[in-house]
Chain A
């Protein structure tokens, strides 16, 4: 991707907290990233790391019980987080749209699919009446639904999961938004359908230059579609790099562990899982959040806060020991 391309979405210092018995508990801390025009940025991490909260915050949507404590989300130099409800309404679906995780629950069960696509066109004053109907049919064709008129008249429950997700994507793209946020869009689908949806998304990106924020825990899916990937752990972005670089030379111990956890035919299933334990929000140390599970952690890691630092061209990581670990691991790799 051309590094000089303009930024479509710029997030800085995003901090979101959830209400808990012990007060406001931060779930996303100081998240900063940009998505350029026509670029697909992946947001990877385990469940509970805050990636879905980030995804919804891009549309100014606060999940129940949550509050944005700090930060800005700039879309065309306007801060989404500071917008009144009225402006958000004009923005959502028109300039930034969402493809949620579960297509079966994202479509209204009592409305035919075509109407749900038409609604976007009508309320954003793109087309009305028969023009909207025609446009909706074109959109359904565009997302690869073979029988577009049939799909138009069908209720969501009369479709397969893959077809439903295509309808949701048609809705998301109806107003030709600059940015589409996708939250685990292929997670509930079978592998071949996943692959087809990913191919469709790539085609749509190439055709319309839509910037995408693709949130997923599935590294294989991310590898297929993303230009760059940001890795999140416990609400913090711990590494950002171009996809190729991230897979070839991960620097943060968490990224390494995550990649090692991907099942592979080249590698016998190891007795020990690459990633020990699980993410415990209530046991985060004041320093590096990954320290309790990190195979390379020193006592000092738990008390020394880590920030993203540039470690290469377009490559950032939040580990103060990345350099020494790199050397050590390379030596290990050669010893194999």
Chain B
């Protein structure tokens, strides 16, 4: 287990350097630079040159990357070119908003996917299962911005249950924060749950057909005990792996959903920063998302290891 954590962490550090270099060059390749974006179309060449010099944009790309890397290693992620603020301050406040959203999503996702997974597996072949299967396929193939817009039309425009925009910076009570978070969280939850329910259902059906579940029933154990102690345990492992993949997807989904709901989170920040070619912000946000992704995968692998005695003892 310790070896897994150490090797994964080393691997993560290498990945982060590679990701940062890749993203740096991708943003570099976009036409224009931060100075021209900030000053707009009417800027004179002299003013542009001055701003470029001030932002060190006149230095060659590799030099700027190495400067940034040197700072990042020491925990200094630089200053936002557009906002002239330390990047970290800027990113943290947005990250807090996104964490609230992601937390809410996981709060909805976990019980929903486990509950629906069990329900559809246990009632396989019956009407409930068929209806659920259709909904799951819908949830998987309809893109999240469409789901988001449909939810806005139904619950915000028609029923007026929730606000259409999630401007949580302006919310003043927990109730209003939750009601603003609800629609974007639902949008993300629908797609994530669809994958997890499908996975959970298939695993659980396989486990329910296994010899040991039959044996547990033939021992005279009650149904819930067979389900919880003998079946679920084995079916949860693969579902956890799907959850790790889902969280990777969530990183991307959040960018789209935050745009649909005008949510002031990391995703919006990333899009705005790319627009302004604000390289330090783009790098900081992407690296943060990468770290979260790697960490979630590591957590899922550890959980699978803990759930499966065969793997636990092999390690």
Of the candidates A92, A109, A158, the one whose C-beta lies within 8 Å of that of B219 is: A92
B218 & A105 in contact (Cβ 8 Å cutoff): no
B221, chain A: closest CB distance, angstroms: 5
Q: B residues within 8 A CB of A108?
A: 212-213, 215-216, 229-230, 233-234
Q: Tell yes or no: A94 within 8 A of B by CB.
A: yes
Of the candidates A94, A107, A109, A123, the one whose C-beta lies within 8 Å of that of B222 is: A123
Q: Tell yes or no: B85 within 8 A of A by CB.
A: no
B220 & A93 in contact (Cβ 8 Å cutoff): yes
A106 & B212 in contact (Cβ 8 Å cutoff): yes
Number of residues on chain A facing chain B (CB within 8 A): 30
Known: A90-B220, A110-B233. A105 touches B309 (CB 8 A): no
Q: Tell yes or no: B307 within 8 A of A by CB.
A: yes
Partner-B contacts on A (CB < 8 A): 59, 61, 64, 88-94, 97-98, 100, 102, 105-111, 119-120, 123-124, 155, 157-158, 168, 171
Of the candidates A92, A107, A124, the one whose C-beta lies within 8 Å of that of B218 is: A92
Q: Tell yes or no: B225 within 8 A of A by CB.
A: yes
A109 to B310, alpha carbons, bound, how many Å?
8
A23 to B112, alpha carbons, bound, how many Å?
39
A123 & B220 in contact (Cβ 8 Å cutoff): yes
B229, chain A: closest CB distance, angstroms: 7
Known: A98-B215, A110-B308, A155-B310. A124 touches B234 (CB 8 A): no
Q: A residues within 8 A CB of B215?
A: 98, 100, 106-108, 168, 171
B220 & A157 in contact (Cβ 8 Å cutoff): no
A111 & B229 in contact (Cβ 8 Å cutoff): yes
Interface centre among A61, A111, A120 (most CB of B within 10 A): A111
Q: A residues within 8 A CB of B221?
A: 89, 93, 119, 123
Q: Which 8 A-B pairs have the closest CB atoms?
A: A93-B220, A105-B211, A92-B220, A93-B219, A155-B309, A110-B233, A108-B212, A106-B215
Of the candidates B214, B219, B309, the one whose C-beta lies within 8 Å of that of A120 is: B219
Q: Tell yes or no: B217 within 8 A of A by CB.
A: yes
A105 & B220 in contact (Cβ 8 Å cutoff): no
A90 to B222, alpha carbons, bound, how many Å?
9
Question: A-facing mask of B203-215, CB < 8 A → 1, else 0?
Answer: 0000001111111
Q: Tell yes or no: B3 within 8 A of A by CB.
A: no
A110 & B219 in contact (Cβ 8 Å cutoff): no
Q: A residues within 8 A CB of B214?
A: 61, 100
Q: Tell yes or no: B313 within 8 A of A by CB.
A: yes
Q: Which B residue's beta carbon lies closest to that of A64?
A: B209
B212 & A61 in contact (Cβ 8 Å cutoff): no
B219 & A119 in contact (Cβ 8 Å cutoff): yes
Q: A residues within 8 A CB of B212?
A: 105-109
A111 & B222 in contact (Cβ 8 Å cutoff): no
Q: Which A residue's beta carbon lies closest to that of B226?
A: A108
Q: B residues within 8 A CB of A59?
A: 218
14 A-B pairs with CB atoms under 8 Å apart are A64-B209, A89-B221, A93-B220, A100-B215, A105-B211, A106-B211, A109-B308, A110-B234, A110-B309, A120-B220, A123-B220, A123-B221, A155-B309, A157-B310
A76 to B308, alpha carbons, bound, how many Å?
41
A107 to B212, alpha carbons, bound, how many Å?
5
A109 & B309 in contact (Cβ 8 Å cutoff): yes
B156, chain A: closest CB distance, angstroms: 45
A157 to B234, alpha carbons, bound, how many Å?
14
Q: B residues within 8 A CB of A157?
A: 309-310
B210 & A97 in contact (Cβ 8 Å cutoff): no
A92 to B210, alpha carbons, bound, how many Å?
18
B230 & A111 in contact (Cβ 8 Å cutoff): yes
Q: A residues within 8 A CB of B234?
A: 108-110
Q: Which A residue's beta carbon lies closest to that of B221?
A: A123
A109 to B233, alpha carbons, bound, how many Å?
9
Interface centre among B209, B219, B229, B313 (most CB of A within 10 A): B219
A119 to B209, alpha carbons, bound, how many Å?
20
Further contacts, 12 of them, CB under 8 A, given A97-B219, A109-B310 = A92-B217, A92-B220, A93-B219, A108-B213, A109-B234, A110-B233, A110-B308, A111-B233, A119-B219, A119-B225, A120-B220, A155-B313
A124 to B225, alpha carbons, bound, how many Å?
13
A191, chain B: closest CB distance, angstroms: 23
Q: Which B residue's beta carbon lies closest to that of A92?
A: B220
Question: A-facing mask of B175-202, CB < 8 A → 1, else 0?
Answer: 0000000000000000000000000000
A105 to B209, alpha carbons, bound, how many Å?
11
A94 to B220, alpha carbons, bound, how many Å?
7
Question: A-facing mask of B224-244, CB < 8 A → 1, else 0?
Answer: 010001100110000000000
B310 & A97 in contact (Cβ 8 Å cutoff): no
A62, chain B: closest CB distance, angstroms: 11
Q: A residues within 8 A CB of B310?
A: 109, 155, 157
A317, chain B: closest CB distance, angstroms: 33
Q: A residues within 8 A CB of B220?
A: 88-94, 120, 123-124
A100 to B313, alpha carbons, bound, how many Å?
27
A97 to B209, alpha carbons, bound, how many Å?
19
A307, chain B: closest CB distance, angstroms: 32
B218, chain A: closest CB distance, angstroms: 5
Q: Which B residue's beta carbon lies closest to that of A61?
A: B218
Known: A105-B210, A110-B309. A123 touches B219 (CB 8 A): yes
A67, chain B: closest CB distance, angstroms: 16
A91 to B214, alpha carbons, bound, how many Å?
15
Q: A residues within 8 A CB of B210?
A: 105
Q: Which B residue's beta carbon lies closest to that of A63?
A: B214
A318 to B221, alpha carbons, bound, how many Å?
40
